[in-house]
Amino acid sequence: MNTLSISILFVTVQKISTIIQYVPVQVSDLERINELSNMPELAGHFETIPPVSMETTKNLYRQIVSGIVSLWGIHEEEQIIGGAGFFVYPPGTRLSHTATFFLFLEPDSWGKGIGTRTIQFLEDVIRSRGYIRMDCMVVIHNNRAIRLYEHMGFKREGIKQKAYLFDGEFTDLLLMAKVFP
């Protein structure tokens, strides 16, 4: 009689909960924001063409101070690992009900659920300020971002053909949005 020996290995996996904080960007954060915007994995997804100068980053801060842009540093253990925010159209315009968001994370932070938490944070802020629409444009081949946005309830609305310069080539941008009830 043959006996079947089965070995069972029990593995305990402990999920480490990362404390993430969203802190409005200050002048003292601009150097780190500039460093992130020049990371090769991120730079292609920014509107500015790298290398991004410190002066360009300071211009972004001027837009924050003026109220056109809202930007939070994403902090993990006292380190800025990314940024998230949105820009809006001036009151009294036909698009002033919309907030267009953006999100960037250093590559070591990808796949940890931080993007999901960050989109929820932005949605909460945007809703609390009375906007009824949250949208973004994403490079058509950024599948990771597209999956995240669809997971968070964003719908594909259309494509801007050859609207974005990426790696020396014009590529399409996918328009995605979420309309609040």
Q: What is the CA radius of gyration of the chain?
A: 20
CA-based nearest residue to 80, from 104, 101, 97: 104
- Higher-confidence residue of 11 and 96: namely 96
CA-based nearest residue to 39, from 77, 75, 81, 73: 81
- Whether residue 7 is predicted with pLDDT greater than 90 in this model: the reply is no
What's this model's pTM, rounded to 2 decimal places?
0.87
- Whether residue 110 is predicted with pLDDT greater than 70 in this model: the reply is yes
Q: How far is CA 37 from the centre of its chain?
A: 12
User: Which of helix, strand or coil describes residue 12?
Assistant: coil
Condensed to tens digits (0 to 9), the pLDDT of residues 113-167 reads 999 999 999 999 999 999 999 999 999 999 999 999 999 999 999 999 999 999 8
Fold type of domain 20-179: Aminopeptidase (3.40.630)
